[in-house]
Amino acid sequence: MDTSSPQDVLTPSQLNTLARDVLEGSFPLIWVEGELGNVARPSSGHLYFNLKDARAQVRCAMFKPKSTWLRFAPREGLRVLARGRVTLYEARGEYQVVLDHMEEAGEGALRRAFDELKARLAGEGLFDPARKRPLPVFARRIAVITSPTGAAVRDVLSVLARRFPLVEAEVLPVPVQGIGAAAQITAMLQRAGASGRYDVIVLARGGGSLEDLWSFNDEHLARAVAASPVPVVSAVGHETDFSLTDFAADVRAPTPSVAAELVVPSADDLTRGLRALGGRLRATQLQRLRQAMQRADRAALRLNALRPQARVELLCRRQAEAFRRLEAAWQRRVDRERARLRHADAVLRSRHPQRQLTRMRERLAAVGHRPRAALARRLANDALKLRGLVRSLAAVSPIATLARGYAIVRDEDGRVVRRAEDAEPGGLLDVRLSEGSLQVRVTDRRTAD
């Protein structure tokens, strides 16, 4: 006979709640590997499917937004590795696994191996940013290490030809996946770096799964990239794909096309820069020319203010006055000598014979002629120097320019008029000629054009 009380009777919802608590408390976070079946993605964005093997299956759910973060498209028959917790869907009394992560089977082991090797190489300083080198601004020759038949090589060559046609791009063909691909890529990279032919080396490959990109996660290749004497750009996979060569290279490009944009400048940008520099050069030259013209104008004004002809006349007057003073000084000296000699003559008349008196008179005559001869030579030399100064001043004098048929035109304020637009119609102008000047009135003006 059943002795349980009515209080021990459970409703289906209570039973399912208890079962859910037991399941969630008994199982930690688990990993399950199996084949996808009955895959469904309703408009809510959640993902529902079965994980099955040869003998059983389990219901699974992956709710949004984790379902939108998957790096692959779930499909029937695909083998996956999933992580989640065991629970029970109370409305139908079905137990299921609610997943928070899922990846293609086989990729998980590769991912763990990738993370371990990455951590070890990073600990050795292989990925240290301090050892990375900048790319040359103008690369003359670029080595592209990639498959000769893939889309990556076409993208790289197309971008290089469009951006900078002057660069030389050489494709070094290698397999980019499969057995032995990593060793061939490593050997080609080492030969390219040792040849001394290239300014930049680009490692390029299109997108794919982690297994497809595994050749670029080889330890020997990563070390060869870090030891390359030439800067290396790694462009492996899509923007979300990362390989060990990306971390070891001097520059990581998200795609092969971006790598081509990084290694060469844009010809259009260079053309615009050259045009801008040419404009600045022309502006600088024009400014300096204007400054030189202003200095020449100021020098001409100063020269005109100094009036070279007046200075020559002043120098001539000063020289003539100096000559007169010199002649007067010489005359006074001759007079003193004559007076002294006359006195000596009077003394000698009483003391010396007639022959000595004659000799003294001859000396007196010679003394009188010497100052005049010296003065004549001095005057001749000064006259030669003066004529030279007059010729030098005439060569730079505006008066000499006027004598050749030119004229100096000034407005009513005394400013020199150099251009037709500087003169106003109806205004008065003073025209200085070689001999005399004219006062004219402007009736019309014509510009240089």
The rounded distance, in Å, linking the Cα atoms of 331 and 312 is: 28
What Cα–Cα distance (Å) separates residue 390 from each residue in 28, 379, 385? 115, 16, 9
Question: d(Cα 123, Cα 307) in Å, to the nearest integer?
Answer: 87
Cα three-residue angle 208-211-214, rounded to 5 degrees = 95
SS3 212: coil
Closest to 202 (Cα-Cα) out of 164, 131, 252: 252
The pLDDT of residue 356: 59
Top-level class of domain 8-105: mainly beta
Q: How confident is the model at residue 440 (pLDDT cuts 50, 70, 90)?
A: confident
HSE of 402 in the Cβ direction (CA atoms, 13 Å)? 14
Q: What is the pLDDT of residue 229?
A: 93
pTM for the model: 0.45
Q: Which residue has better confidence, 397 or 161?
A: 161
Sequence-distant (≥ 6) Cβ neighbours of residue 341 within 8 angstroms: 360, 363, 364, 367
DSSP string, 314-377: HHHHHHHHHHHHHHHHHHHHHHHHHHHHHHHHHHHHHHS-HHHHHHHHHHHHHHHHHHHHHHHH
295-331 burial: b if 16+ Cβ within 10 Å, else e = eeeeeeeeeeeeebeeebeeeeeeeeeeeeeeeeeee
Is 109:33 a contact under the CB 8 Å cutoff? no
Nearest to 36 by CA among 85, 87, 70: 70
Question: Which string of b and e fits 215-224 if b means at least 16 CB within 10 Å?
Answer: bbbbeebbbb
Cα–Cα separations (whole angstroms), residue 423 to 410, 443, 445: 9, 10, 8
Give me the pLDDT at residue 6, please.
Answer: 58
Quote the Cα angle for 33-37-40, to 5°.
115
For 106, list phi and psi in degrees, rounded to 5: 95, -35
> Are both 8-105 and 129-265 of the same fold?
no
d(CA 402, CA 405): 5
| One-letter identity of residue 61 | A
Q: Say which range, 182-186, 253-257, 264-268, 350-354, has the weakest mean pLDDT.
A: 350-354
Rounded CA separation 435/416 (Å): 18
Residue 397 confidence (pLDDT) above 70: no
Q: Write the secondary structure of 369-434 as one string of H (helix), E (strand) and C (coil).
A: HHHHHHHHHHHHHHHHHHHHHHHHHHHHCHHHHHHCCCCEEECCCCCECCCHHHCCCCCEEEEECC
| CATH architecture, domain 129-265 | 3-Layer(aba) Sandwich (3.40)
**Lowest pLDDT segment from 181-185, 276-280, 391-395, 434-438:** 391-395
pLDDT tens, position by position, 131-184: 899 999 888 999 999 998 888 889 899 998 888 888 899 999 999 888 888 999
- Measured CA to CA in angstroms, residue 55 lies from 35, 52, 58, 95, 96 at distances of 12, 8, 11, 17, 17
Q: What is the mean pLDDT of residues 213-217?
A: 86
* Domain residue spans of the chain: 8-105, 129-265, 307-396, 403-441
Query: Residue 112 has what pLDDT?
Result: 73
